[in-house]
Amino acid sequence: MAYLVPSFSMFNISTLEIMDVTANYFSGYLPSTMGFSLPNLQELYLSGNRLSGVIPSSITNASKLTELDMGDNFLTGTIPNFGNLRLLQKFWIGGNNLTGDSWRFFASLTNCRYLNLFDVSSNQLSGVLPASIGNLSTSLLEFYAIGCNIGGAIPAEIGNLSSLKYLLLDRNQLT
């Protein structure tokens, strides 16, 4: 199993607050324990690489995370429960190969009271948007779920998102 280059050990730097390796040629899997040794991590930017495999559920142990960007990689599997990331403000995981039709992870995001940007576009999530969308942070400004094979109706509860400025749901199967 290949791990993220340059080194698996960079995920063991407990003093690390910001990590940005956006738009490189990193490939391989994210270490399953990556979140356990990053207690001070506030911003993690891994987008635009060639990362594959699943999003490690241990990432939720990095409880100081405010920005998480894993977009535009080759990540697979389901989206883990991010409810422990209560300080999360910006959440980008669009442009991967993530799957799932239950949106179970979605309910966990209601614990993220500062969330203002949410992007899961270009993943194969399917299913219907859950009514729990109305329980997301009232500070949510941007919601992107473009090209996710979402079906059904847009839940009326979306009206609870009183600060929403951008709602992009194009290229789905909404009725």
Model confidence pLDDT, tens digit, residues 131-161: 999 999 999 999 999 999 999 999 999 999 9
| pLDDT attached to residue 8 | 57
Model confidence pLDDT, tens digit, residues 86-124: 999 999 999 999 998 778 888 889 999 999 999 999 999
List the single range of 11-20, 65-74, 146-155 with lowest mean pLDDT.
Answer: 11-20
**pLDDT at 35 > cutoff 60:** yes
Q: Where are the domains of the chain?
A: 8-174
Residues counted in the chain: 175
Number of H helices, E strands in the chain: 1, 13
pTM: 0.91
| pLDDT attached to residue 68 | 98
What is the CATH code for 8-174?
3.80.10.10
Counting Cβ atoms within 10 Å, is residue 141 exposed (0-12), middle (13-18) or buried (19+)? middle
